Amino acid sequence: MAQTIELEIFRYRPEQESEPTLQSYEVPYNEEWVVLDAINYIKDEIDGTLSYRWSCRMGVCGSCGMMVNGVPRLTCAAFLKEYYPRKILVEPLDGFPVERDLVTDMDMFVAKLTSVSPWIIRNEGEEKPLEEGTYLQSPGELAEYKHYSMCINCMLCYAACPVFALDTNFLGPAAIAIGQRYNMDSRDQGRDQRQEVIASHDGIWHCTLVGECSTVCPKDVDPAGAIQRAKLSSTTDYFKDLLMPWGRRT
């Protein structure tokens, strides 16, 4: 008989149950399969009622994040063979409200992301006219923020963050990393504007540096590093303002 592996899946169907349950499925074990393949198999062959998100199946779209045996993973990048022969527990990303089965409500995340103004801000009147062409940047200037720009908004870092789980007001890893991505961009002038959100109590100062956000990030964005660097530069600003109030930053 062909080998099989057991998947235990978090189910929540608001129209029929008020509390989530776990449901077990036995699927064929294939060394080349990732957890998402197994879930797709369940959906296609065993139980079409299962709801979850996915799209690219190649670690790009960031929509297939789930808790796999308690750890936030992109299910399209988590191989069955990492777990076999143990059973695999699949749950929706921690910290987010669950809409149905493995589908979380990500409105909160989108709002946080928008709040850091994730676009290039220029001072009033300092926009370069189109005919003058693009803003040039050296490889060194690009290197300053490039790894932050790799974020695929998969929210694994949020699911790994106990601070966010305990208080969802926390701006959280990816939003801060993306804010930093623009702050560190030589073409941008919007840092002061972003500071209001990033340097607030619900921003960087809420972070206690657990560091798991960076560990689980599939794109090596290192949000924990971004937050600590933002703390350092905010502290430097504070002392500069304190010691040299006449030299206020513009």
Partner 1 sequence: MSYIRKVPNTWWLKRKPYTLFIVREITCVAVAGYCAFLLYLMYALRQGPEAYAAALGLIMSPTSYVLHVVGLLFVLYHTITWFNVTPKVFVFYVGEERVPAVVVAGAHYAGWLGVSALVAWLLLGTGTPG
Residues that bind ligand FES (CB under 6 A): 54-57, 59-64, 74, 76
Q: How far is the CB of 37 from partner 1 (least distance, A)?
A: 25
* Residues 209-238 contacting ligand SF4, CB under 6 A: 217-219, 221, 223
Closer residue to ligand FES (CB): 61 or 165: 61
Q: How far is CA 169 from CA 202, 205, 214, in A?
A: 6, 12, 20
Q: Which of 230, 213, 218 is nearest to 172 (CA)?
A: 213
Given ligand SF4, partner 1, ligand FES, none, residue 174, with its beta carbon under 5 to 8 Å by kind, binds ligand SF4
In angstroms, what is the minimal distance from the CB of 28 to ligand SF4? 30
Structure tokens that stand for 96 in this block: 């987010």
Q: What are phi and psi of 4, to 5 degrees?
A: -130, 165
Task: State the minimum distance, in angstroms, from the CB of residue 61 to ligand FES.
Answer: 3
Q: How far apart are CA 17 and CA 228, in angstroms?
A: 42
Within 8 A by CB and 6+ apart from 183, the residues are 145, 190, 191, 194, 198, 230
Tokens of 46: 């065993």
Q: Which of residues 23 and 149 has its CB atom nearest to ligand SF4 in the complex?
A: 149
Q: How far is the CB of 59 from ligand FES (least distance, A)?
A: 5
Asked if 105 is part of the footprint of partner 1 (rule: CB under 8 A), the reply reads yes
Q: Binding partner 1 by CB under 8 A: which of 137, 165, 192, 205?
A: 165
**Of the listed pieces 47-55, 114-122, 153-161, 196-204, which binds ligand SF4 according to CB under 6 A?**
153-161
CB of 66 to partner 1, least distance (A): 14
| 3-class DSSP state of 199 | coil
Structure tokens at 89: 């527990």
Three-state DSSP class for 68? strand
